[in-house]
Amino acid sequence: GPSDLFARARALPEAARVLRLETDSGFAGGQWFALMLLAMFSVVFLPRQFQMLVVENVDERHLKRAVWVFPLYMLAINLFVLPIALAGLLHFGPGRVNAETFILSLPLAQGTPVLALVAFVGGLSAATGMVIVEAIAISTMVCNDLVMPWLLRTRRFGAAAQRDLSRVLRPIRRGVIVALLMLGYLYFRLAGEAYALVSIGLISFAAVAQFAPALLAGMYWKGGTRAGAIAGLTAGFAFWTYTLLLPSIAKSGWLADSFLHHGPLGIGLLKPEQWLGLTGLDGLTHSLFWSLLANVGMLVGVSLWRAPSARETSQALLFVDVFERTATAGHDPVFWRGRAKVGDLLATVGRFLGRDAAQRLFADYASRTGAAGIDKIRPDAQLVQFAETQLAGAIGSVSARAVVASVVEEETLAIDDVMRIVDEASQLRAYSHALEEKSLSLERASAELRAANEQLKSLDRLKDDFMSSVTHELRTPLTSIRALAELMLDDAQMPSEQRQEFLAIVVTETERLTRLVNQVLDMAKIESGHAEWHNSDIDLRELLTQTVQTTREMFRERGTEIVLQMPPSVPLLRADHDRLTQVMLNLLGNAAKFVPHVGGRVEVRLAVDDQGATVEVQDNGAGVAPELQPAVFERFRQGVDERSRTQGTGLGLPISRRIVEHFGGRMWLRQEPGQGACFGFTLPWRGAS
């Protein structure tokens, strides 16, 4: 019985070591953990397992039963594995018979060929079934995820072609199955003689385990990205190939032994089974350690280095929180908004599944949803999901999504809908960084466009004012000069006194034209940075005295009193004498224009402190209207409305301000009710030579 079998096995050293996790038995704790990890991953990620558990599972409730039935089934079929292995070791001895044939060798050795035949037929059936399911699963994956996306991007088979692809899918899958079986046989011929069947299976298990980090991260981590998954898979499969697949081929004699024992190019640290000098592990555990370490490291590192896109963020929310969303998704299809036509979806499904099969599927859907017929089906999100599900079984979820999207007019989700997808506790985090940046960029561009538009409008108004002002200022003296010249030309007998008077007026008007042109040129030079500056040491007392004396006659003719108030002495100032004189003449000329004709008074005040000198020109005129004060220093503005416009171009104050600012000062307007306008400027001290 079993007790006697285990008792005899403990007496056999080779069998006793297998029953204990000891280092010298070749089956230590590290290898045991690696095998358990591989088995756990393989239950879900092997193609045949994934095909049965996920792809062909039409009802999620089946998983609740499979959670306990499948482990129980695995336990049941493995109850007899250990007794058969121990019986084979006890009967044949270690190494005499291939352990994989114990189930056939033991009945034959005991003279029961019928039992051996039954075991052979059962094993052949199980192996055949596994090969069939595995081949179908892999061919489906290759067809759906590699071949079909490529075909759908071609002109011949794309959405615009409207060709029936149901007859194309079967030959493609058959070809993939044949190629898959041939590749399996080729690997068996290359490495099968050096490895047992179980060892070959473990190599494939280690390859399948590379899908685990990306798949598990997609289900439980919202920060994972597509780039991170691809980087992890690439690194993992690269290490698996180098540390496990190539050594299996080398042990079969297809690669030099030096590759295994000395590493490529004799570099010991690059030995495939002792990478970077890591020893003490069997080949499988060693490969699994490095491949998963590289896989997880690249997945996490690249995902953290590169922020997820808007689509990756939304997909992560839907997959990670799938159970929270499932309860409301059926009643409130917030995940999809758009318009679809039943006829278009029916024709699309018929392209890949056949027209008759599509008719049957849609008729069944109509009966389940309570529609009177296919033409009465409501074209909503549920129908779109149904069409995608049917197509996913034939061409894969990615291709199905693309094909359905080509015939469905999707609408952009409103922000309220997006917020309903996002967790209440992480609403700000759910916003797409790409959308935020684009929105901010559009806002900035819109603001810049509005500012540029306002600036253009302002420049257009200034241009009109300038043309009006300059035209008026040019026409007036030109008209006067022309009239006087014509009078002198027509009257050859004109008295010399009158002729001299007319010539004096012509000279005055010519000087006026010269000042106008000079002001326009000065403004252009100052703004373009091409103005010439001749700095020297200036005594402001002397400069103000000269400018007041220059304009005193003008004020006397207008009946205006001008008063100069200055301290006894002031430090020298480093500046351009002519430019500052121009500033003072502009300010005094402005004051002369706006003082009253009777009782006019202008005060020029100079004050100094440690920071610099301050000059003010105060008049007792009407002042500047409050609504015009902000624009008084702008070009072509005169501080008065159009009805009371005086002679001038409106360039005097802007030029004066530019000159003052050139020397580091500032100019201002200050006025109090009933006291006229006070224009002033401050200049900081400059080092005098």
- The verdict on 542 and 680 lying in the same domain is yes
Range of the domain at 367: 324-422
| 299 and 311 both lie in a single domain | yes
Using an 8 Å Cβ cutoff, are 348 and 387 in contact? yes
Tokens of 322: 């799938």
What residues form DSSP beta bridges with 410?
338
Is the pLDDT assigned to residue 158 strictly greater than 80?
A: no
CATH number of the structural domain spanning residue 564: 3.30.565.10
Q: Determine how β-strand 666-671 pairs with β-strand 600-608.
A: unpaired
Residues 376 and 517 in one domain: no
pLDDT-derived band at 425, boundaries 50, 70, 90: very low
The residue assigned the tokens 């561009």 is 445
Buried b (16+ CB within 10 A) or exposed e, 22-37: eeeeebbebbeebbeb
Answer yes or no: do 583 and 666 share one domain. yes
Q: Could you tell me how many residues make up the chain?
A: 689
3-state secondary structure 630-665: HHCCCCCCCCCCHHHCCCCCCCHHHHHHHHHHHCCC
Q: Which residues of 554-574 are buried (b: 16+ CB within 10 A; e: fewer)?
A: ebeeeebebebebeeebeebb
For the residues 8-19, what does the mean pLDDT come to?
71
- pLDDT at 634 > cutoff 70: yes
Domain boundary among 389, 422, 455: 422
Cα gap 179→187, rounded to integer Å = 12
Are 569 and 679 found together in one domain? yes
Lowest mean pLDDT among 285-294, 295-304, 450-459, 538-547: 450-459
Run of H or E including 106: helix 102-109
Residues 6+ apart with CB under 8 A from 650: 465, 469, 635, 636, 637, 638
Q: Enter the DSSP assignment of 414.
A: P
Q: What pLDDT is recorded for position 323?
A: 62
Amino acid (1-letter code) at residue 414: A
Give the rounded percent of residues in the chain with a pLDDT score beyond 70. 79
Q: Choose among 162, 570, 511: nearest CA to 347.
A: 162
> 10 Å Cβ neighbour count for 354?
17
Taking residues 150-179, what's their average pLDDT? 73
Q: How far apart are CA 87 and CA 83, in angstroms?
A: 6
Q: Of 393, 422, 451, which one is at a domain's C-terminal end?
A: 422
Which helix (H) or strand (E) is 683 found in, with range?
strand 677-684
> What's the domain count of the chain?
4
Q: Which of 689, 679, 573 is nearest to 618 (CA)?
A: 679
Average pLDDT over residues 136-141: 84
Classify 547 as helix, strand or coil: helix
Tell whether the model's pLDDT for residue 282 goes beyond 80. Answer: yes
Alpha helices in 415-495 (DSSP H): 415-421, 427-430, 433-490
pLDDT class of 582 with cuts at 50, 70, 90: confident
Q: How confident is the model at residue 422 (pLDDT cuts 50, 70, 90)?
A: very low
Q: Give 351-368 pLDDT, tens digit per residue.
A: 777 778 888 888 888 888
Angle separating helix axes 310-320 and 212-220, nearest 10 degrees = 80
Arithmetic mean of pLDDT over the chain: 79
User: Crossing angle, helix 342-353 and helix 381-395, to 10 degrees?
Assistant: 10
Structure-block tokens of residue 551: 């304009």
* Residues 232 and 302 sit within 8 Å (Cβ to Cβ): yes
Is there a domain that residue 253 lies in? yes
Query: Which residue reads 């041939």 in tokens?
Result: 182
Tokens of 437: 């940046």
Report the pLDDT value the prediction gives residue 4, as an integer from 0 to 100.
Answer: 78
Whether the Cβ atoms of residue 686 and residue 574 lie closer than 8 Å to each other = yes
**Amino acid residing at 199:** S
Which of the residue ranges 35-44, 92-101, 402-411, 437-446 would you say has the lowest mean pLDDT? 402-411
Asked if residue 605 has pLDDT above 90, the reply is: yes
Q: What is the pLDDT of residue 27?
A: 55
- Residue 686's contacts (CB-CB under 8 Å, 6 or more residues apart) are 535, 573, 574, 575, 663, 664
**Residue range 562-585: average pLDDT?**
90
CB atoms under 10 Å from CB of 436, counted, come to 12
Q: Which of 343, 348, 393, 350 is nearest to 167 (CA)?
A: 350
Q: Is residue 178 part of a domain?
A: no
Tokens for 398, please give them: 């990615």
pLDDT at 523 over 70: no
518 and 502 in a single domain? The answer is: yes
What is the per-residue pLDDT for 15?
Answer: 66
Q: Region 516-545: what's the mean pLDDT?
A: 79
| Residue 154 per-residue DSSP state | S
| Residue 114, in any domain of the structure | no
Q: Is the pLDDT of residue 335 over 70?
A: no
Question: How many CA within 13 A on the CB side of residue 475?
Answer: 6
Residue 556 lies in a domain: yes
Residues 254, 221 contacting (CB under 8 angstroms): no
Copy the structure tokens of residue 572: 């020298």
Rounded to an integer, the average pLDDT of 518-535 is 73
- Please give the Cα distance from 95 to 109 (Å, whole number): 16
Q: What is the pLDDT of residues 205-258, one digit of tens each?
A: 899 999 999 988 888 888 888 899 999 999 999 999 999 888 888 887 777 778
What tokens does 258 get? 């030096």
Max Cα separation, the chain? 160
Contact (CB, 8 A) for 340 and 384: yes
Q: Please, which contacts does 527-531 make with residues 24 or more away whose CB atoms are closer than 8 Å? A: 527/658
Domain-located, residue 95 = no
CB 100 within 8 A of CB 197: yes
> Could you tell me if residue 163 is inside a domain?
no
Are 502 and 484 in contact by the 8 Å Cβ rule? The answer is yes
Check pLDDT > 50 for residue 329. Answer: no
Residue 165 has a pLDDT of: 65
Residue matched to tokens 């007792």 = 620
**Contact predicate 13/26, CB 8 Å:** no
Tell me if 519 is assigned to some domain: yes
Mean pLDDT confidence for 310-317? 72
pLDDT category of residue 469 using cuts at 50, 70 and 90: low
Say whether both 271 and 351 belong to one domain: no
Using a pLDDT cut of 90, give the percent of the chain over it.
13
Say if residues 106 and 84 touch (Cβ distance below 8 Å): yes
Where do we find the tokens 């909503």? 380
pLDDT in tens, 388-409: 777 776 676 666 776 777 666 5
- Of the candidates 249, 242, 173, 256, the residue with the CA atom closest to the CA atom of residue 207: 242
**Same domain as 216, residue 298:** yes
| 654 in Cβ contact with 525 (< 8 Å) | no
In a domain, residue 465? The reply is yes
Contacts 24+ apart (CB under 8 A), 434-437: 434/309, 434/310, 435/310
CATH number of the domain residue 510 falls in = 1.10.287.130
Residue written as token pair 């301000």: 657
Q: How confident is the model at residue 472 (pLDDT cuts 50, 70, 90)?
A: low
Same structural domain, 490 and 356: no
Of 475 and 611, more confident: 611
Rounded Cα gap, residues 363 and 343, in angstroms: 13
Where does the pLDDT of residue 330 fall: very low under 50, low under 70, confident under 90, or very high at 90 and above? Answer: very low
Angle at 421 between CA 222 and CA 226, to 5 degrees: 30
Average the pLDDT over each of 333-342, 392-401, 581-590 and give the range with the smallest value.
Answer: 333-342
pLDDT for 421 equals 47
Of 496, 523, 550, the domain-final residue: 523
Question: What is the band of 117 on the pLDDT scale with cuts at 50, 70, 90?
Answer: very high
CB 682 within 8 A of CB 670: no
One domain, residues 370 and 357: yes
Per-residue confidence (pLDDT) for residue 623, from 0 to 100: 80
The position carrying tokens 């075991």 is 119
Pairwise pLDDT comparison (127 vs 295), residue with the higher score:
295
Distance between CA atoms of 598 and 627, rounded to whole angstroms?
Answer: 27
pLDDT at 75: 87
Whether the CB-CB separation of 409 and 345 falls below 8 Å is answered with no
In the structure encoding, which two tokens stand for residue 638, read together? 């005169």
C-alpha 684: how far from chain center: 50
| Residue 227: closest CA among 297, 155, 303 | 303
Query: Which of 244, 237, 242 shows the shortest CA–CA distance to 282?
Result: 244
pLDDT at position 381 over 80: no
Q: Looking at per-residue confidence, does 105 or 63 come out higher?
A: 105
The tokens describing 288, both together, are: 């699994």
Query: Taking the model in full, what pTM does it have?
Result: 0.50
Alpha carbon separation from 498 to 258, 477, 502, 505 (Å, rounded)? 122, 19, 6, 11
Q: Give the C-alpha separation, 538 to 575, whole Å.
A: 7
Same domain, 648 and 549: yes
Residue 328 pLDDT > 70, yes or no?
Answer: no
Cα–Cα distance for residue pair 686/537, rounded to 1 Å: 9
What pLDDT shows up at residue 284? Answer: 87
Say what the pLDDT of residue 347 is.
Answer: 80
**Do 544 and 678 fall into the same domain?**
yes
